[in-house]
């Protein structure tokens, strides 16, 4: 019972840490500076394959922006590029950024060469309770087993 409890604590803690780290990275994007940019490329890449050897689609963007008087070129839609086996999902994102249009990108002021068109979601914080239950359950199992000894 102790071993199973420790296993649940370890696995639950790993997922709590992962979700918390993702939330922290997303929260730091609040400090990124909203900056006007011009879309120079907006295409769909269909060269990827998923685990079932189906086509994966990804949005390929390129945009120009200025930050502190220096011109930069950005290529990231989001920090972690989204991909989907559903072309229509990526196409709907592509339509939001037609070539030649003006948009807003978010620039990391600590590293101005890093920018995204869309900030990361902080939704991972809403899911952190679930792996937390495994940590608490494992803790309960360990405490219960040690009391019986």
Please report, for the domain that includes residue 66, its CATH number. Answer: 2.60.510
Tell me, yes or no, whether 26 and 42 share the same domain.
no
Count of structural domains within the chain: 2
pLDDT of 62 reads 97
Tell me, yes or no, whether 55 and 66 share the same domain.
yes
Distances (CA, A) of 146 to 11, 66, 81, 120: 20, 62, 47, 43
pLDDT of 118 reads 94
Let me know how many helices (H) and strands (E) the chain has, helices first.
Answer: 4, 6
pLDDT, tens digit only, all 149 positions of the chain? 889 989 999 999 999 999 999 898 888 899 999 999 999 999 999 887 666 667 889 999 999 999 999 999 999 999 888 888 888 999 999 999 999 999 999 999 999 999 999 998 888 888 999 999 999 999 999 988 888 87
pLDDT of 51 reads 65
Domain that holds residue 28: 1-32+120-149
95 SS3 class:
helix
Instruction: Give dist(CA 105, CA 103) in Å, integer.
Output: 7
Tell me, yes or no, whether 107 and 46 share the same domain.
yes
pLDDT of 38 reads 98
pLDDT of 47 reads 81
The encoded tokens of residue 27 equal 């929260």
pLDDT of 52 reads 67
Quote the pTM value: 0.75
Tell me, yes or no, whether 114 and 125 share the same domain.
no
Tell me, yes or no, whether 48 and 73 share the same domain.
yes
9 SS3 class:
helix
């Amino acid at each position: 019972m102790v071993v199973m409890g420790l296993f649940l604590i370890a696995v639950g803690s790993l997922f709590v840490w992962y979700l918390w780290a993702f939330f922290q990275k997303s929260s730091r994007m609040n400090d990124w500076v909203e900056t006007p940019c011009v879309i120079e490329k907006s295409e769909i890449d269909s060269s990827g394959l998923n685990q079932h050897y189906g086509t994966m689609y990804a949005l390929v963007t390129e945009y120009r922006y200025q930050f502190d008087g220096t011109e930069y070129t950005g290529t990231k839609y989001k920090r972690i590029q989204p991909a989907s086996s559903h072309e229509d999902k990526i196409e709907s994102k592509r339509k939001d950024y037609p070539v030649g249009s003006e948009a807003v990108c978010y620039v990391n002021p600590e590293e101005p060469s890093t920018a995204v068109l869309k900030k990361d979601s902080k939704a991972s914080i809403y899911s952190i309770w679930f792996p937390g239950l495994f940590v608490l359950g494992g803790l309960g199992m360990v405490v219960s087993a040690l009391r019986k000894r």
